Amino acid sequence: MAKVIQKGDTFYAEKGAYFDGNVKIDGNFIVPAHTHFWGRLNVSGRLELGPRSSVALGISCGSAIIGSNARIKGPIVATGDVTVLDHAIVHSLQAAGKVILRQGVRVGDVSSGDTLFIHGKIKSGKLIGKNVKVLGD
């Protein structure tokens, strides 16, 4: 089990950590690369999930940046904006705000309460948003 360090309302996971079971963070959570969660991740504020990290179940959060090559095996549900970086794999995504999907993302169904931006080629299920903008190839 890993330690979480708190500075103000932001929490930091240790580098290379893994978390067994569900994790609940009341605030913002910054997670370095190669961090693994074997349960559900619940963050009341902003989540910054580092590259090549994984979450076994799902994520609920205020807003999120999902690092490149991360794997989220359950749904992401956010009350704000979500950005999914290059080559991440996400089960499904539901956000009240904007959604940005970067090059090479593989995702199930995506629902955005605002604009859905797609940068480059992705693989996805249904894409739902007030506006859908495809930029690049």
pLDDT in tens, 33-89: 999 999 999 999 999 999 999 999 999 999 999 999 999 999 999 999 999 999 999
Task: DSSP letter for 14, please.
Answer: P
Q: 91-98 contacts: CB < 8 A, separation 24 or more?
A: 91/58, 92/125, 97/63
| pLDDT over threshold 90, residue 2 | no
Are residues 83 and 64 in contact, defined by beta-carbon separation less than 8 angstroms? yes
Name the residue among 93, 94, 95, 100 with its Cα closest to residue 118: 100
Predicted local distance difference test score (pLDDT) of residue 3: 83
Kindly report, residue by residue over 95-128, the tens digit of the pLDDT.
999 999 999 999 999 999 999 999 999 999 999 9
Kindly report, residue by residue over 19-49, the tens digit of the pLDDT.
999 999 999 999 999 999 999 999 999 999 9
Predicted local distance difference test score (pLDDT) of residue 86: 98
Predicted local distance difference test score (pLDDT) of residue 25: 97
What is this structure's pTM? 0.95
